[in-house]
Chains A and B, each alone.
Chain A
């Protein structure tokens, strides 16, 4: 500390002026940029709400609106994956659990929208005559909304705490989450009398507000709700990954031990981000369920949870827009390819995993940022005149240094 003060005294005046300048300059700029971003997000949301659906319907592809709604719901889950894997570097292969928990919560609420004393249909073949206690709280809408977000969050927090506090991480954590996934899958499959086992819960014939869930007005409402929640999820992710918390997430990824010896408890940060991402997956599960009309334990098969990771990887990990973009691209590719040739999709998907990991580790956005800009520039504008060596000139670090550091040296 003494040193710090000493040097402050030496150049204190100059430094303070510089600091104040920086503050004055940076504040409005940051705010401007934030406003611009909010504007763009709002514009895209409006586009998705009012422009795209009519176009799709007009071109005879009306069912794709429903698909778009579902994939936007999946994008919310992808945001969660991006938070935990993209930024924090923890690979969870068990997010299907949280997705399913959210989906089942909402499905149970919808199935209970019945006249008094009636039970959901599926109970009768099993001879269940009394509503199981597990279902009782789901009569209430507030509880259901709470459950969609917080049951996954709490499950994730408990599981995460038990695992993280023992410093189990890396691939160990990944395969433990996968085991947890299988365990929940088995459990849900086995509980016929409770939640209809393998057959799952069908929501599309349930009624709410006097309409079936699959009717156009309700679906339009759900589509809107999905977009609003996606925007909310985007804002949450942006907030979490900027500022101090964002830096701490990166710190967890870079060097956990350093964090610990600096007095931070990485366990709590990891539990926090795992729980938040589980909450997002829960919301995604609920929205996806009501738009696809059914939730079954298949939401917890191994493949689906790993797929979530590949959405983020394709879009570009640690970029929030990338998670959303990747989800839409991969899922539309899936729906288009598997409509034509189901078998090619699997080859394609397997190839996608390989390509993204080996050739395109930054995903689409990462590639655009790093190489794409350079490639386009070199194609359009030829090469820029060189002053030294090509390797030096084109090195982004050197460019950065030249731009930022030479100015500052000349300030003195």
Chain B
């Protein structure tokens, strides 16, 4: 077994008495693609919030690449190599896709470099390549506010890639996309998985089926079970809390 890139021990997050995460244990191998599913309110997004430093854990610890991330704030964690895509696309609406990508691609994110640095030709080439990959050549120099929802999703994934993190956290990447776009995003993620560790949160079971190798089910803030898609789908506890009879029929059909 390869080295663990992410390890989470006894994690609890307490919001005013409500336990969004409850004694959660989790680990991810380097280079693994993991899908996390779970009913609404299972704590999926809070889970990502803790890894990226947006929410501070009440107890427990998160270890990334062998080091605890405790005490690091979001931007420091991002610099360690954790990239995150949000549920709704978050991009800089008043910049063009090219500029969006350039900002993510930039390796030196301090103030000094912002004032005096210029994008290197290698960076510019990476950006140009990424624009083709995400299929935004024709709109590369329009304001990002003018893009459609799907294009924004792709742009945000592109920004994530440009950041070239070791661990990608992707929150519902295909929400609101057409079937074709969904498949494209799936292929994109699979291609990315060749060189990155990825955690995907998703509700769309078809999509999960397309990309999943190993699935983790969260329920009420703890890991309910873990395994391949088939194992998870046949687990009686999962059927009870999440998939339900109807989902099962649907998947069978």
| A, B from the same assembly | yes
Instruction: Give chain A's interface residues, CB within 8 Å of chain B.
Output: 1-5, 7-8, 11, 15-16, 19, 240, 243-245, 247-248, 250-251, 253-255, 257-266, 268-269, 272, 397, 400-401, 404-405, 408-409
Roughly how many angstroms separate A1 CA and B130 CA in the complex, as a whole number? 9
Q: With CB as the reference atom, state the residue of chain B lying closest to A89.
A: B94
Roughly how many angstroms separate A397 CA and B119 CA in the complex, as a whole number? 28
Do B138 and A408 touch across chains, with their CB atoms under 8 A apart?
yes
CB distance from B233 to the nearest CB of A (A): 30
Q: Is B163 located at the chain interface by the 8 A CB criterion?
A: yes
CB distance from A145 to the nearest CB of B (A): 23
Do B109 and A4 touch across chains, with their CB atoms under 8 A apart?
no
Do B78 and A261 touch across chains, with their CB atoms under 8 A apart?
yes
- Chain B, range 81-106, C-beta contacts under 8 Å to A: 83-84, 86, 90-95, 99, 102-104, 106
Interface-side segment among B10-18, B187-195, B244-252:
B187-195
Do B94 and A253 touch across chains, with their CB atoms under 8 A apart?
yes
CB distance from B225 to the nearest CB of A (A): 29
Across the interface, which residues of A come within 8 angstroms of B74, CB to CB?
A: 257, 260-261
CB distance from B247 to the nearest CB of A (A): 32
CB distance from B62 to the nearest CB of A (A): 16
Roughly how many angstroms separate A223 CA and B121 CA in the complex, as a whole number? 45
Do B163 and A8 touch across chains, with their CB atoms under 8 A apart?
no
- Chain B, range 44-83, C-beta contacts under 8 Å to A: 52, 54, 73-75, 78-79, 83
Roughly how many angstroms separate A11 CA and B132 CA in the complex, as a whole number? 9
- Chain B, range 142-197, C-beta contacts under 8 Å to A: 142, 146, 159, 161, 163-164, 188, 191-192, 194-195
Contact-size category for B: 35 or more
Interface residues of B: mostly helix, strand, loop or mixed? helix
Do A247 and B192 touch across chains, with their CB atoms under 8 A apart?
no
Do B132 and A7 touch across chains, with their CB atoms under 8 A apart?
yes
| Residue with the greatest number of chain B CB neighbours at <10 A, chosen from A15, A263, A408 | A263
Do A250 and B95 touch across chains, with their CB atoms under 8 A apart?
yes
Across the interface, which residues of B come within 8 angstroms of A240, CB to CB?
A: 115
Do B106 and A244 touch across chains, with their CB atoms under 8 A apart?
yes
CB distance from A348 to the nearest CB of B (A): 32
CB distance from A219 to the nearest CB of B (A): 36
Across the interface, which residues of B come within 8 angstroms of A263, CB to CB?
A: 75, 78-79, 109, 163
B146 contact from A8, A11, A397, Cβ within 8 A:
A397
A3 contact from B103, B114, B146, B192, Cβ within 8 A:
B192
A247 contact from B79, B83, B99, B139, Cβ within 8 A:
B99
Do A248 and B114 touch across chains, with their CB atoms under 8 A apart?
yes
Do A255 and B92 touch across chains, with their CB atoms under 8 A apart?
yes
Do A404 and B141 touch across chains, with their CB atoms under 8 A apart?
yes
Do A244 and B114 touch across chains, with their CB atoms under 8 A apart?
yes
Across the interface, which residues of A come within 8 angstroms of B146, CB to CB?
A: 397
Across the interface, which residues of A come within 8 angstroms of B94, CB to CB?
A: 250, 253-254
Do A3 and B188 touch across chains, with their CB atoms under 8 A apart?
yes
CB distance from A84 to the nearest CB of B (A): 15
Roughly how many angstroms separate A195 CA and B142 CA in the complex, as a whole number? 54
Across the interface, which residues of B come within 8 angstroms of A259, CB to CB?
A: 75
B90 contact from A7, A255, A266, Cβ within 8 A:
A255
Top 10 A-B pairs, shortest CB-CB distance:
A263-B78, A260-B74, A4-B129, A254-B92, A8-B129, A258-B90, A263-B79, A265-B75, A245-B114, A261-B84
Q: Is B126 located at the chain interface by the 8 A CB criterion?
A: yes
Roughly how many angstroms separate A2 CA and B79 CA in the complex, as a whole number? 20
| Residue with the greatest number of chain B CB neighbours at <10 A, chosen from A3, A253, A397 | A3
Q: How does the 8 Å CB contact mask read for B223-235 relative to A, with 1 for contact and 0 for none?
A: 0000000000000
| Residue with the greatest number of chain A CB neighbours at <10 A, chosen from B106, B111, B138, B195 | B111
Roughly how many angstroms separate A53 CA and B128 CA in the complex, as a whole number? 52
Given contacts A2-B191, A264-B103, 4 further A-B contacts (CB under 8 A): A4-B129, A248-B114, A259-B75, A261-B78
B161 contact from A4, A8, A251, Cβ within 8 A:
A4
A–B Cβ pairs within 8 angstroms, 16 of them = A1-B195, A4-B126, A4-B161, A244-B102, A244-B103, A245-B114, A248-B114, A254-B93, A254-B94, A255-B92, A255-B93, A257-B54, A261-B74, A263-B79, A269-B111, A269-B114
Across the interface, which residues of A come within 8 angstroms of B52, CB to CB?
A: 261
Across the interface, which residues of A come within 8 angstroms of B159, CB to CB?
A: 262
Q: Contacts A4-B129, A257-B90 known; A245 to B115 CB distance under 8 Å?
A: yes
Across the interface, which residues of A come within 8 angstroms of B115, CB to CB?
A: 240, 244-245
Do A1 and B102 touch across chains, with their CB atoms under 8 A apart?
no
Do A262 and B78 touch across chains, with their CB atoms under 8 A apart?
yes
Q: With CB as the reference atom, state the residue of chain A lying closest to B78.
A: A263
Q: Is B117 located at the chain interface by the 8 A CB criterion?
A: yes
Q: Contacts A257-B90, A269-B114, A401-B142 known; A3 to B191 CB distance under 8 Å?
A: yes
Do B79 and A7 touch across chains, with their CB atoms under 8 A apart?
no
Across the interface, which residues of A come within 8 angstroms of B163, CB to CB?
A: 262-263
Q: With CB as the reference atom, state the residue of chain B lying closest to A269.
A: B111
Q: Contacts A244-B114, A261-B74, A408-B138 known; A4 to B91 CB distance under 8 Å?
A: no
Do A1 and B132 touch across chains, with their CB atoms under 8 A apart?
no
CB distance from B174 to the nearest CB of A (A): 18
